[in-house]
Amino acid sequence: MPLPDLGANLVELFDRTVDRLGDAPFLWQKRAGRWESWSWRRVAEESEALARCLAGRGVAPGDRVAIIADSRPEWVVADLAILKAGAVSVPVFTTYVGADYRFILAHAGTVAAVAAGGTVAQRLLPELAALPELRTLVLLDGETAAPPGTVATLGYGAALEEGAAGAPLTAGRARRGDDLACLIYTSGTGGRPKGVMLPHRSLLANIAGVWDLLEEVGLGDDVFLSFLPLSHAYEHTVGLFLPIAMGAQIRFAESVERLAANMAEVRPTFLPCVPRLYEVMKQRMSSAASREGGLKARLFDQAVRLGTRRALRGGRLPPHLALADMALERLVRDKVRARFGGRLKAMISGGAPLAPEVGQFLQSLGLPILQGYGQTEAGPIISVNPPGRSRVETVGRALRGVELRLAGDGEILVRGALVMKGYWADPAASAEALKDGWLHTGDIGTLDEEGYLRITDRKKDIIVNSGGENVAPQRVEGVLMLQPEIGQALVFGDRRPHLVALVVPEKALLERHARTAGLDPCDPALAGEAGLRREIEEALARANRQLTAVERVRRYHLLVEPFSIENGLMTPTMKLRRGIIYQKYHAALDALYGTAK
């Protein structure tokens, strides 16, 4: 399927697919235990009605309208409705607290919002008095009244009825490619989020840039399993507008606990996810094979070894090993693929660096994983590994239409139609990020002679020890978390003589030692349990053997509470909030150097 005419804006892109597919299923969500579908035409009609409702309530072209809800069909309807009204979509993570809602909605100057009920409404409604520009609130679940004197509220169904009876949208609401489509606030690993201004052209350039790679894996009868929040630029582009361009179906996963079951029943062809979930997949498959033991475990290990060796030898093996590898295709890899639905064309990894060992492990078992690189500021896709020529230690090559170069200090610079217009109401930050047409990413990397990009670390995250040596923390943390005993890790050592780490044990290990000690797995006293500490120290010793002298972790502090979105120590896309973690545990980190106060 060649690249279709994408149109001048995202609304035209959607309308052209609707004209082609009409009543075919587009969106799916499981409700009351059954998958329910929404056709392309239904989404078109409901988004048109909601757009008319918003326009009738005073939403003008260029106005900002927030969406605060988990990924679901109504989220897509709301996003398209905002664009049809000529307005700017402002996606907001549901995991934020009320103060975050207040900051983002006030900073963006939102005049309307579409929000979920329940916890989201409970957090949002008390903040409305501080949002004088917000005039309309559409609640997707129920019709909870806002505090008196704040905003007009109505339910989703009522909004559709009002819009269906309202005036048609005027041609003047149509947007050009350089007009803003969305204002996406970076989740931020520390400090206040910034509003990234993405025009329609940014997302269209992303779609056009990856199309030749999609053609290589084959297009047709495609299903995306959507797990990440649509509020994130990665899922918004790769998990929503790319499927729209392809005419693919989108199925919304129920939860992380149900992800494996959903894959088996949905049988997706594409799975966009973040590295943390692929790391969990590796851990669970390895643990399951170990528990099986015997012949099954030996065959599994051999499939991994031979698959890895084949990849390192350019797809070739000696004849006697090639025969064994062919047998393992049927005995092991076909069964692994079946657990993932049996139709995967690509597992797409983005949002953070994927450890090469994880990518190689999945590929060795016949799971096609393609790591890419991007930033919200680039819409977000910058590069991706080409199918069949993937190099797991890299993030691939620049998309078609994207220019890449390295600054003198190794910072990655990007230029092209995909780049943002700047940060909303922040000219200083915009000027710092955009210089002479180039986006300064803040990431450090290298480019090889064939154009493959390797990310070494975030420029601002680089640790400079007291000896002046640079250490990339993400590489060290990746090696630590490849040990089966370690679930999470964060290293520290800026202006210090050596590295130390905060370590969270793998959940099953923690629970096993909790039972032995007669403690709750959440009890901080468990961190002092001798058997648990011994296993963690053995894991650290193994990891240190894979690290250079300057990268080795000399001491550690054990935590039983994991870093999570809920406790504010991870972003909604599962990145560590380093600054906040350092603030919370600074006394423990100082104690590891003998400098606690």
pLDDT band at residue 188 under the 50/70/90 scheme: low
pLDDT computed for residue 596 by the predictor: 44
In a domain, 41, yes or no: yes
Domain co-membership, 70 together with 174: yes
In a domain, 142, yes or no: yes
In a domain, 516, yes or no: yes
- The answer, yes or no, to whether the previous bond of 387 is cis (omega within 30 of 0) is no
In a domain, 351, yes or no: yes
Domain co-membership, 30 together with 176: yes
CATH number of the domain where residue 534 is located? 3.30.300.30
pLDDT computed for residue 187 by the predictor: 63
Domain co-membership, 173 together with 229: yes
Phi-psi region of 3 (alpha: psi -120 to 50; beta: other; left: phi over 0): beta
pLDDT computed for residue 101 by the predictor: 94
189 pLDDT above the threshold of 60:
no
Single out the residue in 459, 494, 528 at which a domain terminates. Answer: 459
pLDDT computed for residue 595 by the predictor: 58
Helix (H, G, I), strand (E, B) or coil at 214: helix
Domain co-membership, 513 together with 409: no
pLDDT computed for residue 468 by the predictor: 74
Q: Strands 180-185, 411-415: parallel, antiparallel or unpaired by DSSP?
A: unpaired
Q: Among 114, 154, 150, which residue's Cα sits nearest to residue 135?
A: 150
Domain co-membership, 278 together with 231: no
pLDDT computed for residue 147 by the predictor: 81
CATH number of the domain where residue 332 is located? 2.30.38.10
In a domain, 172, yes or no: yes
pLDDT computed for residue 251 by the predictor: 99
Domain co-membership, 49 together with 77: yes
Please identify which residue in the block is written with the tokens 């005073």. 58
pLDDT band at residue 95 under the 50/70/90 scheme: confident
Domain co-membership, 41 together with 94: yes
Cα–Cα distance for residue pair 589/497, rounded to 1 Å? 13
For 26-52, what is the mean pLDDT? 98
Number of H helices, E strands in the chain: 20, 27
CB 489 within 8 A of CB 502: yes
Domain co-membership, 546 together with 406: no
In a domain, 363, yes or no: yes
Give per-residue burial for 477-511: e unless 16+ CB within 10 Å, then b.
Answer: bbbbbbbbbbbbbbbbbeebebbbbbbbbbeebbe
In a domain, 420, yes or no: no
Q: Percent of the chain, pLDDT > 90?
A: 82
pLDDT computed for residue 225 by the predictor: 98
Domain co-membership, 172 together with 32: yes
pLDDT band at residue 499 under the 50/70/90 scheme: very high
Highest-confidence segment of 58-67, 384-393, 486-495, 581-590: 58-67
pLDDT band at residue 475 under the 50/70/90 scheme: confident
pLDDT band at residue 265 under the 50/70/90 scheme: very high
In a domain, 314, yes or no: yes
Please identify which residue in the block is written with the tokens 């206040």. 192
Helix (H, G, I), strand (E, B) or coil at 11: helix
Cα–Cα distance for residue pair 480/473, rounded to 1 Å? 11
pLDDT band at residue 191 under the 50/70/90 scheme: low
The full DSSP string for 530-591 is HHHHHHHHHHHHHHHTTS-GGG-EEEEEE-SSPP-TTTTSB-TTS-B-HHHHHHHHHHHHHH
pLDDT tens-place string over residues 101-135: 999 999 999 999 999 999 999 999 999 999 999 99
The whole domain housing 356 covers 270-342+344-415+436-459
Higher pLDDT, 303 or 351: 303
Q: Among 467, 476, 407, which residue's Cα sits nearest to residue 442?
A: 407
CB 255 within 8 A of CB 228: no
CB 217 within 8 A of CB 265: no
304 pLDDT above the threshold of 60:
yes
pLDDT computed for residue 299 by the predictor: 97
pLDDT computed for residue 1 by the predictor: 80
Cα–Cα distance for residue pair 527/487, rounded to 1 Å? 14
For 478-497, what is the mean pLDDT? 93
For 414-434, what is the mean pLDDT? 97
3-state helix, strand, coil in the chain (%, to 5): 45, 20, 35
CATH number of the domain where residue 36 is located? 3.40.50.12780
Domain co-membership, 440 together with 488: no
For 557-583, what is the mean pLDDT? 90
Higher pLDDT, 254 or 495: 254
48 pLDDT above the threshold of 70:
yes
pLDDT band at residue 378 under the 50/70/90 scheme: very high
142 pLDDT above the threshold of 80:
no
574 pLDDT above the threshold of 50:
yes
pLDDT computed for residue 353 by the predictor: 78
Domain co-membership, 363 together with 478: no
pLDDT tens-place string over residues 233-259: 999 999 999 999 999 999 999 998 899
Domain co-membership, 381 together with 335: yes
Q: Where are the alpha helices (DSSP H) in 242-318?
A: 242-246, 259-266, 275-292, 294-312
Phi-psi region of 293 (alpha: psi -120 to 50; beta: other; left: phi over 0): left
| DSSP conformational letter for 218 | -
Helix (H, G, I), strand (E, B) or coil at 54: helix
Q: Strands 499-505, 553-558: parallel, antiparallel or unpaired by DSSP?
A: parallel
Number of domains in the chain: 3
Single out the residue in 459, 494, 521 at which a domain terminates. Answer: 459
